[in-house]
């Protein structure tokens, strides 16, 4: 069933776990993620990122995701991930998305606050949940996010606890993306998570669900420590999306005949379902 993301985040706050927010850039992925959630009997946030528009247009993917969420046997919400322009965010609202990420962290703190507040005011009028970001998520290999400025370390992007409190208060966002060591894409070196910072952010905004992006590729211990430190939603995509790549070469070459494209999709769906299942279960934090 389709639900508001806020309901899912509130439950995660109450029971110390994180809801998986998984990007679905095709019908194959959408079905893989939903099947994993249904088989595990856990809620899931189906996400569409603005960045993926060229190959998954929101006007096609949005209604597909909505129909799938409505039919699902587990609570699902429909989330716009990394909405980087107001126009795109409002398009998501018109398509029935139940939450949106206002991604304006690349601007100055003041401009980020101003733009996010405007979006939040509109969203709240129609009971849509808003995820804000203060602090940035740089990228390793996917090219998403800003590159590190020359001579700066990762900490340059990290969320500062006192400003996080100001950001939440001044924008009215319902949840907050925080930057403390995870990155989007493939990790090319072991991430070093700043748990002290996460603890200070949690203290500064105790009633705001915290969101971690760049959640695929983190090891289990780190993931659990993040959840115990207050992370209530984890974004997951890259490691699931890359899972079929190597195995497909073997699948195609051992088929004896050129497989149909739908056979390739079905093979990939099974592989991605298992990755999604792994993430959803891990984020449930059941020990
Ligand atoms: P990964 O690249 O680690 O899968 O993270 C995805 C993400 O954060 C999307 O917003």
pLDDT band for position 190 (cuts 50, 70, 90): confident
> Could you tell me if the CB of 17 is within 6 A of ligand 1?
no
Structure tokens at 191: 């991430």
d(CA 197, CA 182): 13
d(CA 96, CA 127): 11
Q: Is a pLDDT exceeding 80 seen at residue 268?
A: yes
* Whole-structure pTM value: 0.95
Residue with the smallest CA separation from ligand 1 atom 9 is: 235
Please identify every residue annotated as catalytic: 81
> Could you tell me if the CB of 223 is within 6 A of ligand 1?
no
Per-residue pLDDT tens over the stretch 122-136: 999 999 999 999 998
Residue with the smallest CA separation from ligand 1 atom 1 is: 214
Q: Distance, CA 217 to ligand 1 centroid (Å)?
A: 9
d(CA 81, CA 103): 8
- What atom of ligand 1 comes closest to residue 182's alpha carbon? 3
Please give the mean pLDDT across all residues of the chain: 94
Q: Distance, CA 255 to ligand 1 centroid (Å)?
A: 32
> Could you tell me if the CB of 235 is within 6 A of ligand 1?
yes
């Amino acid at each position: 069933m389709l639900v508001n993301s806020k309901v899912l985040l509130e439950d995660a706050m109450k029971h110390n776990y994180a809801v998986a927010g998984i990007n679905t850039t095709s019908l194959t992925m959408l079905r893989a993620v939903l099947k994993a959630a249904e088989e595990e009997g856990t809620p899931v946030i189906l996400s569409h990122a603005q960045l993926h528009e060229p190959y998954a247009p929101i006007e096609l993917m949005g209604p597909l995701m909505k129909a799938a969420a409505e039919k699902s046997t587990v609570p699902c919400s429909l989330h716009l991930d990394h909405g980087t322009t107001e126009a795109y965010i409002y398009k998501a609202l018109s398509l029935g998305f139940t939450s949106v990420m206002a991604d304006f962290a690349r601007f100055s703190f003041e401009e980020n606050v101003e733009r996010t507040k405007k979006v939040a005011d509109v969203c709240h009028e129609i009971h849509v949940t808003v995820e804000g970001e203060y602090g940035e998520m740089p990228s390793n290999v996917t090219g998403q996010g800003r590159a590190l400025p020359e001579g700066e370390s990762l900490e340059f992007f990290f969320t500062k606890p006192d400003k996080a409190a100001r950001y939440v208060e001044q924008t009215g966002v319902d949840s907050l993306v925080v930057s403390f060591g995870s990155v989007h894409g493939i990790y090319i070196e072991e991430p070093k998570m700043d748990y002290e910072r996460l603890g200070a952010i949690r203290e500064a905004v105790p009633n705001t669900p915290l969101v971690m992006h760049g959640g695929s590729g983190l090891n289990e211990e780190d993931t659990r420590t993040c959840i115990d430190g207050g992370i209530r939603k984890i974004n997951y995509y890259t490691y699931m999306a890359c899972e079929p790549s190597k195995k497909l070469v073997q699948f195609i070459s051992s088929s004896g005949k050129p497989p149909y494209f739908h056979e390739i999709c079905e093979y990939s769906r099974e592989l991605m379902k298992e990755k999604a299942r792994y993430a959803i279960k891990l984020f449930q934090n059941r020990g």
